[in-house]
Structures are given as structure tokens and as C-alpha cells.
Structure 1
């Protein structure tokens, strides 16, 4: 059985092809090319299609065409016309059959169209369906016509299926909920699936794809899984799979299937362009408690704090490392040089506005506001207006990213400069060569998170950490990963840290950049002290901060909220 949902549609213009006073074809202008509804002998070909429908079959026409096929089919009885391209129907003249008493003309939401076809079939004796496909329409809108055709092809000789009855099952009735997981290749995906397996949670993954939009067939697979697997809720990370127009969340609402979206990056930078967040059956989980108010203002009623954690089956002591990883002090992180350049180019700033970027980044880095928009509203309302007047949403989002990453670049560089007296090993992108003079530091290019870092972290006496300026109150992944595999971490103080670790005994933090040097001197000289702190941190992690703990919390919150 196949189910579909239309996510996008290609734009085009049309013009009639005339023979004297009759429309004999329709020319379609699309993507700089010219297509034809039929080309030559369109009317003859439509008569042939109508004549090929076997007696006793209920004809379902995919695309109205020139209207000739409809006219011929009406000589034998009722006809269902599935047409989502009214511009062609109006141009060809086929639209005149839209109000014919024997014609059921359907368009719009494909799920509803399928249900209406089933109702039409039932009203006409539940006879077998005969699909009549005009090829052009599938080229124009593959998601709509081809997938509807595949669905009806599966059903045409079988007993009618009541789709809504299939998906109207009760949720959260079992001891352990069933999860539909939107998967794409991204940080945290493997950790989530591994944690679900260890918790004994039954789940099914639907691959989203890697592009800006979901892959072709994603929603078709989603709906098939809903019918066959009957999950209690869907789970995604960073709103992956959710389109900006709200079509997917609207579909989930119709299916009465709750959605849990766990944001492990700044949700403001992700949801900036979402026109319809459809919050009714959506729960937002954010790694940063400071985002709770922002998400509530965005319209979400179900917002929960869910910090990061670690996979202790992957990050564990005793894994082998390389000799080149040995160091007293190491720092692993991006210089942000290339990120700043990228966002500067894509922000579309004029020269005057661009000159303000350094001072704004410095000020934003020192302020408590989590978003650039909020910072400008409070401190520079005239610049907020200037930002809002940038040409596109992409320009505005790039400007916010530019300020955030330039603030991070400056802060990170200031911290790393304090490491130089200790001959640090710096692991990251080549932008560090632009920021640091040659001398008393070593460089390695970026390491693989899964294959390298569990063995890398314990090779340093001190793993240094400074948090991105998009995380002003939250702790990052490194605070969990380093102790989990037996390494010692020195990190910057975060407001939310004290709810996760006991400062001074389970975690060592600096409040000011000037404290970095003295703390390094102290802890480099105290092997026993480092081991004691690391052991205490790892014990706390094993007890409270694994991804099994996080997923257990998420599952329970979803049950409490939607069960």
C-alpha cells in the first residue's frame, strides 16, 4: 500500500495550441523549457485511452487533459478526474466538465483526495478501478500524480481501504511507546537510535535525505510506516523533515500523531523562517534552558529542557590513541574564520552596516540575550530595523549567524591565546593559521567525532573547552564526552552547569579568561587531583547524563503531554 503527501510544486505558464477555433494541445513553459500536453494527435490519443477502459471498471483519470477522454468515458458512466493543475484544464477547455453531474473532480490535499476516491468508489458499487494516466502530469508534479497513482494501483482490485480508520488508533497505550524516527546523517542520530535500542524501545526510522528539503518519497514512506507500525509519536532533531510552510506538521495533526523535536543547536536560528509552527501536537526539547521562553514566544506550548549527554558505550576509557595526540593541553574546535566569511558574504550588508559588525559581535558576546534579534531590540533598535529591512530571510538569518559566529571567533581566540605559554595542541580547521602566529603550538586537522575523539581526549592532561556564543547558558557536548572516556576537561563556567555537575569536585571551570593560565598551572601539576575530578565526573555521567537518561526523559514527557 502506498500513501503520499505533496511537499512542493513546480511553477509554469501555459498557452493553447489552436487549430482554427479548437484547442488541440497545450504548451507548457517550465524551467526555461517548452513541454506539450500531447503534441500531435492529442484528441485521438485520448479517445484511444477511453476506449481501452474495460467494461465494468470505474475510470479514474489522472489529469484532465484536453477533456476528450472525459467526454468519451462519460458515455459509459461516472468518471473521477484527479487534476491538480487547473491552469491546464482551463486552457484546454477540460474544466467545463468540472460541474458535470457524472464527474467527480478532485484536487488539493492528496490524503483527502484518496479518501474521496474511496468514497466515490463505494457510492458506485465498490467496483474495480481503472487508472487512466496522461503522462505529462506525472512529469509536472511527481509527488502528487505518481504517488496517488501508485496508491490507487495497489488498491484498484482489492477491497477499499479506510485510510483514516487505519491511522485512528489510540496512542500511548503500551508500557513502552513506539517511536517513528526521522533520520538523516547528522550528529546525535546514532546516539538516539542506540539509546532507543538499549532501552528496549521499538522504533522505525524514515530517512529524510541530506538536502534542504526532504527526499522524494519521504512522506510516502512516513505514511506507510504510520499505517503499518502505528507509532505513538514521531521524533526528529533540529526540526529535520519539517518544512517551513507547515505542511508536514499539518499532516501530523490530521494523523493525530505527536511530534517531538529535540533542538541541539540554537532553535532561533533554525525556526527563523518557519511560517507555521503548528504547535498543537508538537513538543520542543531544547539543550539550552534559556531557549524555553523564546520557544514559548514562538507559539509552542509544550517546551522542555533536555540537555546534551554522551554515549558511554562509545566514549569510554581504555581506547587506543595516536602518539601525535599526546599533549599537556589540547583544544579541539573550529576557528570560525570560514564561517564568518561565509555569513558575511551571504548577509547582503551595505558598507556602513558591515563596519558595525565587529563592535556588535563584541557587545553581543558580553550580553545575556540568546538571539541577535533580542539583543538589537534591547540595545540597538535602529539596527534591528536595518536588519529587518535586509532583502531576504536568508540575508537576515545570515546576519544573525554572522554576529553569533564573529562573537564566538573573538571569544575563542582570546581563550586560545591564554593557552600558548603551555605549548598546546590545537585541532581544527586551517583558519587557525590565519589567527595564530607560528610558534609554540602544534596543529592537527579536524578529527572524526566517532572514530577518533574517544581515543584522543585521554591523551591530553587537560582538555580545554570554550563554549560557542550561541550557547550562553548551556554546556556543550565536550563537557560530557571528555570525562566519559577518562579525560580531564577545563571549561568555561555556564549558568546551567551547576544542575549537571558539582563545581570544584566534578567539573573545573574558569569564570574569566584571565583565570585560564593559573588554572592550567594548578591542574597540570596535580595528577592525582585531575584523576579524582575525572572519576567523579564520570560517575555522575554514568548515573545521570547518558543518552539513555535523556531519551527516557523525552519518552516520559511525551506520554505525560499527549498520552
Structure 2
């Protein structure tokens, strides 16, 4: 917000040849510098150290003090000046506003100005502010310049960083600051931490930009009060795209653990300032480890999905009793939404269905890699997309189209068994009428724990965002007493024993035979389900995953 000018200003020439500005406001005259303006500006900047601080001019003045500081300090300088009419008269605005060493804030709202300064401070290592007060500006607009100076002075006097760099993992009981949101996994993590007896504190993610001053201040306040061993989030939720939070935590030497349970490359695509020794990533898909390291992360660990047997307890809901069912999105409406919201060029739009089919059939783990390896003609059009967001949208479009085709081909094999399909209405458009039944989407917590054990065969076909990892259903269905028939994934054998604990199909042509076989054999289904449930309770619960995550964080940062 720029200030409303409630004064008039004129440039005047002083007897010694120097320049000043005379301001008329409410019948009173004020001078920007006066007879000793240049001398006073130099006096105010004389004590600013050459290193270790971030000078902040609260008003640009005549430019003498600014020139002095720029000549002697090693780092950048900020100027808060909501008086562009005065800056034009002095020539300061024309001379330095475009200088890369000067961070210029033309903002009359002190809260917004402080927000900009905080982001700038974190980008430059969190060094303390060194405010340069100018009495002319403090009188002209005290609510901005005087109040902002007081807050910046306070931040310099409080030795925040030494308080924040306390020893970590000194107690046998870990202390975890959890960035919470409405994401489905957060409730499970909070409950698991409580069962484990770990000390936790929660910071609710805001609806506004996560890099805002209010959010940063809430985290800083909670860190000093709670003194966590590390911060935990899911899918980088709460981590701003500009890297402000990660830079702040690195300055505090406070580790951040981010557990990715969705494709990290479709999330991290737009993030900056990735590399930090204080960030450790955990991914549910082991195929992502090397590519994440290549993206700048030095600490990446495998942590597969799991389940909560307290939520998914054995309690079948007989109103859902069915021989065969599949719970999953058709992806049709998701694909259509991407096509509506983005103006992709004809070269990509014309062939998106073919690209989805080819990506599904390829061994490539990402759309970008697929284009580089198999579709060089389309790669140029992809690289020419206008921005990162549009390129990410196109990768997501192809991933979703591949998933649509993948699921449709396999679900069709179920039609001889009159399956129940639970999901979006897109299934009605993709499949012929008759031979199957549709049900709207079910609530993950309220409905699925009763739905799975009431169904004789729960069918599964995995999203194409992961070509080697298993999805959530592989754990949820057996732990609550349901039998699962799933597509084979390369990473499955490390989690379950195929044939004894889990039943898989390799190709769509195997599906019908397996369905017939296991519909006939109630005892064999029950035996496999019991074996899978025992394995899950012993190795694949959220309690165990969090123990492993904390153990890894302690080994790195303890």
C-alpha cells in the first residue's frame, strides 16, 4: 500500500549549493535536511558496522547517508520510503531504486513493510537489523517510520539466534513440532505420537501464504517456548516456495523432516532454496531417492506408507456386502479440469491422450524424463511452456491421463463379476451401462474401515504417479480384515510375501482368473488376510514408522 500524500513538497537550493526539500503540511513547514542535512546523515550512519548487520534506512533522506553505507558495508541495504514525491525531488529514487544492492520498500503499511523486511532478512542469513532513523520522516509519518524503527531496534537487542540454537535430542523423549493441516495423515500422526509418549506441539498452517510475517512469528514463538528437537511436516506442507522457512530453520540449526507420501517431484517442482543440511526428506517411494538427491537434497531416506489399526479396526459394515469392489477415482474429471484451466499449445494438446498411454507403458518414473527419453518432438514444446506452474500442470495432466487409462483397462476385467465401483461419477462416462454398480465416494475415516472387511475381494490398481511403490490401500484393507487383490509393484516384496501375505496380478489378463479363484475359496482368502494383518501389525503401523523417522533424525542431528 502506498501512502496518500497529505503534504506538498518542493526542491530548494541552499546557499552552499546543496539541495534540500521543503514540505508544507497543515500550514507548517518542515525541511528534509536543513543547513546541516548532509552532516547529520553521516553522523547517523557512522556507527554502522562493516559486517554482520543489515542496515535499514527509514526514509531515504538526501542520499548522503545511503551513499556512505553503500561505500563501506559488505552486504545489502534496505530502504523503507513511502514518500516517492520527496525521493524524486532529491534524486535518490532515480539513483538507487534500481541498484541491486538496495532493497527498496515503497510501503505505507508498517506490518506489510515488516513482512518484506523479514523475508529479506532471512534471505540474507538472518543477520540483525541496523535501523537508521531520520527525525524528519518520524515526524512526517510516525505510524510507519517511528513504530517500524522501534520494532527493528528490539529485534537487534534480543539475542534471538543464541536462544534458538539450543542442543537437540538431549532427552530420551523426543520433542516434535508438527505443522498440522487438514491433510488426511495428520490425525494419524498426532495419535501415534500420543501413543508413543513423545512430546509434541502443533502449529496450524494458515490459509494465507505460509511465508507471511504472522506465520513466521507463530513458528518462532512456538520454537522458543517448546524447544523442539525437530519440525515435522507432510509433503512439505507449510514450507513456502521461496525457501523462507527452510532458511530460517537452518539459521536456528533446527532440523526439518518432511515425509512425502505423494510424488515429491510434482510438489517440489516450484520450490527454491532446496539444498540445506537441516532438511531431511523421507519418501514412501524408494525410486525417488536418487532423483531427490540430484535435485539438491543431501539427506533422503526411504519410509514407506503404513496404517493405523486403531482407526482401521475390524468392524465390517454389512450394508456394503459385495463380492467385488474397487474404491478409486476415475481421473476423468481431474483430467478435464487441467485441460480447462490451462492453455496448452496445440502440439501438446493434440497428443495428450497418446502421451498418457505411452507414459503408462514406459518405464519412466516422471513425465519429464519420459519426454526426454522417448518423445523429443514433444519435449521442445514442453520446455517452451511459459512458466514452472504450466509445466507442472502438464506433467500432472499426463500422469492423471495415464492413471485413467491404466485403471480403466483393469477395471473392465471386473465387469463379468458385477463389481461395485466407488468414486466419482466419471465412471458412468467411461464404462457401458449394466454389469456393474456405482456408489458415490466414501469417507476415508467414517466408511472405509467398515467397507473393506464387508467386501469379499477389494480390487486395487495403483496411480501412475508411482510405478514401483505400493499405495495406502495395501495396508488399510488387510489390517481391518479385508482381502485385497492388487497390481504388482516392484517394491512389494520388501513389505509382504506374495502368495502368502498378498495376492497380485502382473497383467490385466490375469485378473478374471484370480477373482474366480478367490471367490471360491473363502478359507484361503481369510488365511492370506490374517497373514497380511499380522505382518502389518508387526512392521507397518504409523507408530513404527514414526519411531523409525525419529531414530533417523536423532542419528543425524543428535
Same fold? TM cut 0.5? yes
- Aligned-pair distance for 1:171? 1.1
Residue 491 of structure 1: how far off its partner (Å): 0.4
Residues 527/202 of structure 1: CA separation in 2 closer, same or farther (3 Å cut): same
Following superposition, the deviation at residue 501 of structure 1 comes to: 0.6
Pick which of 416-425 and 206-215 moved more. 206-215
Q: Which residue of 1 aligns with 2:335?
A: 340
RMSD of aligned Cα (Å) = 3.7
Contact 1:114 1:148 in 2 (8 A): no
SS at match of 2:257: strand
Map 1:141-220 onto structure 2 (within 5 A).
Answer: 161-210=158-207, 213=210, 217-220=214-217
Q: Secondary structure, in 3 states, of the residue corresponding to 2:58?
A: coil
State the SS of the aligned residue for 2:491: helix
**Aligned-partner Cα distance in 2 for 1:456–1:95:** 70
Distance 1:215 1:481, change over 3 A: farther
- The one-character-per-residue Cα deviations of 1:422-453 (angstroms, maximum 9, x if unpaired) are 11111101111111122121111111111111
Task: Tell me how far 1:184 sits from its aligned partner.
Answer: 1.1
Correspondence for 1:429: 424
Q: Tell me: CA distance 1:87–1:559, structure 2 relative to 1, closer, same or farther (3 Å).
A: farther
Question: Aligned pair 1:290/2:284, yes or no?
Answer: no
- Corresponding residue number in structure 2 for 1:249: 246
The alpha-carbon distance between structure 1 residues 502 and 212, as it changes in their structure 2 partners (threshold 3 A), is farther
- Relative to structure 1, is the Cα distance of residues 327 and 169 closer, same or farther in structure 2, using a 3 angstrom cutoff? same
2:11–2:90 CA contact under 8 A, matched in 1: no
Find the partner of 2:552 among 553, 557, 562: 557
Show the counterpart of 2:409. Answer: 414
- Rounded Cα–Cα distance in structure 2 between residues aligned with 1:521 and 1:427: 21
1:515 is aligned to 2:506: no
What is aligned with 1:7? none
2:349 to 350, 354, 364: 354
Equivalent position of 2:367 in the other structure: 372
User: Does 1:383 pair with 2:375?
Assistant: no
> What's the counterpart of residue 301 of structure 1?
298
| Aligned-residue offset at 1:546 | 0.2
Q: Deviations over 1:487-516 (max 9, x none)?
A: 111000001011101100100010001111
1:458 aligned residue: 453
Give CA-to-partner distance per residue, 1:115-158, whole Å, 9 cap, x none.
7469999xxxxxxxxx99947759xxxxxx989967978x99xx
Query: Is the contact made by 1:246 and 1:278 (CA closer than 8 Å) also made in structure 2?
Result: no
| Range with greater deviation from structure 2 (387-396 or 274-283) | 274-283
1:221 is paired with a residue whose SS is helix
Q: Which residue in the other structure is 1:3 paired with?
A: none
1:368-412 deviation digits (Å, cap 9, x = unpaired): 211101111111223222201111212111110111000000010
Change in CA separation of 1:505 and 1:535 when aligned onto 2, cut-off 3 Å = same
Structure 2 residue runs of 5 or longer lacking an equivalent are 13-22, 33-55, 66-76, 97-104, 106-113
Provide closer, same or farther for how the CA distance between residues 233 and 149 of structure 1 changes in structure 2, counting only shifts above 3 A.
farther
Tell me the number of residue pairs that the alignment of Structure 1 and Structure 2 aligns: 487
Query: Are residues 423 and 281 of structure 1, via their aligned partners in 2, closer, same or farther at CA, if it must alter by over 3 Å?
Result: same
Match of 1:540 in 2: 535
Distance 1:132 1:560 in 2: 55
Are 2:60 and 2:87, in contact at CA under 8 Å, matched by a contact in 1?
no
Cα separation, 2, equivalents of 1:13 and 1:290: 53
Secondary structure of 1:376's counterpart equals helix
CA contact (8 A) 1:317 1:486 kept: yes
TM-score, length of structure 1 as denominator length: 0.78
8 Å CA contact 1:463, 1:489 repeated in 2: yes
Q: Does 1:64 align with 2:58?
A: yes
CA distance in 1, matches of 2:152, 2:454: 56
Distance 1:113 1:472, change over 3 A: closer
User: Which residue does 1:75 correspond to in 2?
Assistant: none
How far the C-alpha of 1:348 sits from its partner, in A, is 2.6
Q: Tell me which moved more, 350-359 or 297-306.
A: 350-359
Distance 2:229 2:409 in 1: 48
Post-superposition Cα deviations, 1:67-117, rounded to whole Å, max 9, x if no partner, equal 69xx9xxxxxxxxx9954588584586979x9xxxxxx9966457999746
Indicate if the aligned counterparts of 1:66 and 1:92 stay in contact, CA closer than 8 A. no
Q: Residues of 1 paired with 2:411 and 2:479: CA distance?
A: 24
What TM-score do the two structures reach when normalised by structure 2?
0.78
Aligned partners of 1:473 and 1:495 also within 8 Å: yes
Q: In the alignment, which residue of structure 2 is the partner of 1:125?
A: none
Partner of 1:236: 233
5 Å matches for 1:446-525? 446-525=441-520
Q: Secondary structure at the match of 1:501?
A: coil
- Structure 2 residue matching 1:495: 3-state secondary structure: coil
* Change in 2 beyond 3 A, CA 1:146/1:205: farther
CA distance in 1, matches of 2:458, 2:160: 55
Matches within 5 A, 1:38-77: 41=26, 64=58
Contact 1:182/1:206 (<8 A) preserved: yes
Name the residue aligned to 2:68.
Answer: none
Aligned partners of 2:329 and 2:437: how far apart in 1? Answer: 15
Residues 552 and 436 of structure 1, relative CA distance in 2, 3 Å threshold: same
Which residue is 2:308 aligned to?
311
Q: For 1:160-205, what per-residue CA distance to the aligned partner results, in whole angstroms no more than 9, with x for missing partners? A: 5321221121111111321111111102111111111111111111
Deviation for aligned residue 1:363? 1.2
Is 1:222 matched with 2:212?
no
| Partners of 2:487 and 2:505 within 8 A in 1 | yes
SS at match of 1:374: helix
Q: 1:21 aligns with which of 11, 21, 27?
A: 11
What's 2:72 paired with?
none
Alpha-carbon contact 2:9-2:24 (below 8 Å) kept? no
333-342 vs 175-184, which deviates more?
Answer: 175-184
TM-fit CA distance, 1:518: 0.5
Measured in 2, the distance between the counterparts of 1:419 and 1:46 equals 84
